[in-house]
Amino acid sequence: MSTLEQIEAAILTLPSDEFQRLRQWFFDVDYQRWDEQLEQDVANGKLEALAEEAIAEFQAGRCREI
């Protein structure tokens, strides 16, 4: 049995309150990693073209309020 399979099996045995705590912890870690990746992409200029395109669309009046 792989480590992942062991973890999955252990999760299935958790009481509801512990499962909720694990779920919240997992979401927190996932969001943190996503934020770190986004910050890295911004620092590396990977979103620069998208930002320039959005600004150009806005300046050209091709936007709508949401």
Q: In this predicted model, what pLDDT tens digit does every residue of 19-63 receive, in sequence order?
A: 999 999 999 999 999 999 999 999 999 999 999 999 999 999 998
| Confidence bin at 65 (pLDDT 50/70/90) | confident
Q: Do 47 and 37 contact (CB within 8 A), yes or no?
A: no
Could you write out the DSSP letters of every residue in 14-47?
S-HHHHHHHHHHHHHHHHHHHHHHHHHHHHTTTT
Each residue's pLDDT tens digit, 1-19: 899 999 999 999 999 999 9
- Cα distance between residue 14 and residue 20, in whole Å: 9
Instruction: Provide the residue ranges of all domains of the chain, joining segments of one domain with +.
Output: 16-66
Which tokens hold the place of 11?
Answer: 């999760």
Asked whether residue 66 carries a pLDDT value surpassing 90, the answer given is no
Which tokens hold the place of 1?
Answer: 């049995």
- Cα distance between residue 38 and residue 60, in whole Å: 27
